[in-house]
Every structure is written in C-alpha cells, then in structure tokens.
Amino acid sequence: MTLPGSPHIAYRGDDLYIEGRSVAALAREHGTPLYAYSQASMLDALASYQRALTGRDHLICYAMKANSSLAVLQTFARAGCGFDIVSGGELERVLAIGVAAKKIVFSGVGKTRAEMRRALEAGVLCFNVESEAELTLLSEIAAAVGKTARVSLRINPDVDAGTHPYISTGLKGNKFGIAHEDALANYLRAAALPGLEVVGIDCHIGSQITDAGPYLDALDRLLELVEAIEARGITIHHLDLGGGLGITYTDEVPPSAETLVRSLLERIDARGHGHRKVMFEPGRSLVGNAGVLVSEVLYVKPGEQKNFCIVDAAMNDLMRPAMYQAWMNIVPCVKRAEPAVLLDVVGPVCESGDWLGKDRELAVRAGDFVAVLSAGAYSMSMASNYNTRGRAAEVMVAGDAAWLIRDREPVAALFAGEHLLPTG
C-alpha cells in the first residue's frame, strides 16, 4: 500500500517499509526518535527538475536549510547540484563534503561581515543581495580583501504565494528582498560600486506553494525589470527563480517540478530571454517526502475529553506542528488488527504545544512504533535541545542498504561547552 507522498515509503502487508528496509526494524536497530530517509525519493524528485532543464544552461542549487545533513548534501552533490546557503555554517557544511565554492549561491537577509569575508575568500558563485545596505557593506569588504563579489539582487515582487504567512517571502510586508520599485536604482548603484560584479537577478516568493500562478506572475515582473536594467547598460547573465514548490502532506496537489519548470521556461522563451542561464533553489520539494520520523509509543492515556498517544519524539525533534500548526500524516509502523481510537499524538516535553498530530485514528499500544511521514524537510534541520534532549539519530536508506548518517546526540555533548562558576 502506497501512502501520500513518496512511492518509496509504503506498506508491505502490515509492515511499513522505506525502500527495501522495514521501518520498525530500523527503529529497533538504531533506537528512537529516528529520522530515516529514502535516497531514491530524493533523486526521483531531483530528476523531475533535471528532465525539464535538459539542454538548457542551468544550475539547480539545493536549498540546504530544508535538510543540511552531510549525507543528504552528498547525495545531491553527486547528482550534480549546486547549493543555496543562508549562513556561514551552511557554507562550511558544503565545503566539508568537497563541493567547489563556485557551485554555491549565498542568500539570506542578514549576512554578517565575517560571513561575507569567508564566502569571498572561498570564492562562492554569487551573493543574492537583499538590501542597499548589504550592497554597500559587501562592496567595502570585497575591496578590502581584493576580491570581486559577483552579485544578484533578490527582488521582492509583491506577489502573494498563497501559503502560510510565516513562509511567505514575496510580499511588501515581508523582510526579504529589495522592493520591485527600488530595484533599478539598486542595480545602477551595484554597477557603480567597487568590488562588485552584477551577474544576475533573483526572486523567491515563499515555501509550500501549490499553484503555478504566483510563479508566473513573479517571473513576468522579473523579466520587466531585466529589460529595464539592460536598457541602462547592465547585463543580466542569469535568472534565479528560487524554489518554494510544495509537496503532498495530505491532499495537496502541487504541480510536478517538471510541469512547473517547463511552464516557466516557455514564458522565458516567449519573452525573448531564452539565452539566459536559469537557476532554481528547490529545498522542500527535493527532500520533504523522502523522510520519516520514527517514534516509540510510551503510553496510551485515555482522558475525559481527549485520548493521548504519548511518544518519545517531541517538539524539539519536529517543530513544524507546534510552529506552523502543520498537519503531518502519522501511521503505525506495523498495523494492528484491532479498532482504531481517536488520539492526540504528543511528546514528553513540558509544553501543551508539544504535539505531533491531533485527532488521529490509530490502533497502537505501548512499545509500538509510529512514523510521521513527509518529515524530510524543515524537521531535523530545525531540531533543538529543549528540555536537554539530544537530537535524534539519522539513517539513509538506498534499496536494501541503510547507513547511520548521524549519531544520536549524547546528553554529555549538550553541556560540553558550558562552564561552572569559579569555586569559592
């Protein structure tokens, strides 16, 4: 039985499998909470972009904030991806797996001096600049270190992506990007500043987008700007159209990446811009449906108004439900032949907001394992140590093989960098 999301995560009889491995067996082997990922699911999702871009000058830069585990980065690097980073730490992660800095674009609204300097020294492909102040600072630092910073301005097109307000990034009220009406003036300034080379234009309007319409609206506004910029003598070499394509958590039906990209390329060609390099920054759509969070049922607790399934995973392991009120499918790793009960699936953290799913019909007992599906994106990457809880272990599955790609975080590591007050 195939579940919504990835065909590589499905039931075989009563047992949930991720590719060729039983999820319950992985939990017994590695303990819980446990993140497990399907490598085939990641590569299939990437292939949908790659098919549409065949024959085009392009670069797919994985937006690694979705999931920055080294083995995940390695999977995409081996498949030819570049990387979209938003911090100095993410830069170091990409460099640690041996990727050349020339395949990295540096995004983010609050780059520090130290981050800019390190990225310049490493030789990143491009800085996606988000404000006039950032342009000025980047020019100053580039001139000081004798480097040229290749820049693309991230434009805020004031387009509603129709998504959760916390993950909408393309409206005037959002902190991201340079306002559409201010873009031309900032391109003229960038072209005049020392240490900067204008190479492209960038736009990203949000995340978990399930309709192609906002992308096309943003693209039209971007191409209008390109024409105005080039009319003033500044060449735009690449169009960076961002990411944000949604996935199926329950009943969402986003366009396939191939369909979306083809429609964007058709619009680009129709407006006479087909000679330009195109770049995309997908994150969630590559890894979201590839992962599950596996947790052991600790107690089933009946109540007067609610019944609770208390598990060993918590909001520190998976923030999306508490932060976004996100609905994520929760299923038993081994089905039981008994009636299901309506339960709230909650963790052990001392917060009423510590829940993974509300009003779920499950037939489970203490000692069973459950899996939260579509947990490959913005899950482990957002994990914390709240309540002094170590972060989960991670496993990558490819066919019948499975590799431990992150050790479970030991408690001693959580305070290893802390210092007691002096005695006396």
Q: What is the pLDDT of residues 376-385, one digit of tens each?
A: 999 999 999 9
**Residues 388-403 pLDDT 10s:** 999 999 999 999 999 9
Q: Is 52 exposed, middle or buried (0-12, 13-18, 19+ CB in 10 A)?
A: buried
DSSP 423: P
Q: Label residue 29 left, alpha or beta by phi (over 0 means left) and psi (-120 to 50 means alpha).
A: alpha
**Residues 274-328 pLDDT 10s:** 999 999 999 999 999 999 999 999 999 998 899 999 999 999 999 999 998 999 9
Catalytic residue list: 350
Q: CATH homologous superfamily of domain 100-282?
A: Alanine racemase (3.20.20.10)
**What's the CA gap between 235 and 5, in Å, rounded?**
41
Residue type, 53: L
What are residue 411's phi and psi, to 5 degrees?
Answer: -60, -40
Q: Which residues of 296-321 are buried (b: 16+ CB within 10 A; e: fewer)?
A: bbeebeeeeeeeebbbbbbbbbbbbb
The answer, yes or no, to whether residue 186 has pLDDT greater than 90, is yes
Residue 200 exposure: Cα atoms within 13 Å on the Cβ side: 25
Given 2.60.40.1250, 2.40.37.10, 1.20.1280.260, 3.60.20.10, which CATH number is that of 9-38+288-414?
A: 2.40.37.10
Structure tokens at 314: 């918590």
Is the CB of residue 371 less than 8 Å from the CB of residue 292? yes
**Residues 15-46 pLDDT 10s:** 999 999 999 999 999 999 999 999 999 999 99
Mean pLDDT of 403-424: 95
**What's the CA gap between 340 and 332, in Å, rounded?**
11
**Residues 56-69 pLDDT 10s:** 999 999 999 999 99
Residue 211 pLDDT: 85
Helix%, strand%, coil% for the chain, nearest 5: 35, 25, 40
Q: In the structure, what pLDDT confidence band is assigned to residue 1 with cuts at 50, 70 and 90?
A: low
**Residues 328-350 pLDDT 10s:** 999 999 999 999 999 999 999 99
Q: Is 238 exposed, middle or buried (0-12, 13-18, 19+ CB in 10 A)?
A: buried
What are residue 104's phi and psi, to 5 degrees?
Answer: -115, 130
For the chain, the structural domain boundaries read: 9-38+288-414, 100-282
Close Cβ partners of 193 (under 8 Å, ≥ 6 residues apart):
135, 136, 139
Q: In the structure, what pLDDT confidence band is assigned to residue 105 with cuts at 50, 70 and 90?
A: very high
Structure tokens at 2: 């195939």
> What one-character-per-residue DSSP string does 196-244 give?
EEEEEEE---BSSB--SHHHHHHHHHHHHHHHHHHHTT----EEE----
**Residues 219-261 pLDDT 10s:** 998 999 999 999 999 999 999 999 989 998 988 888 999 999 9
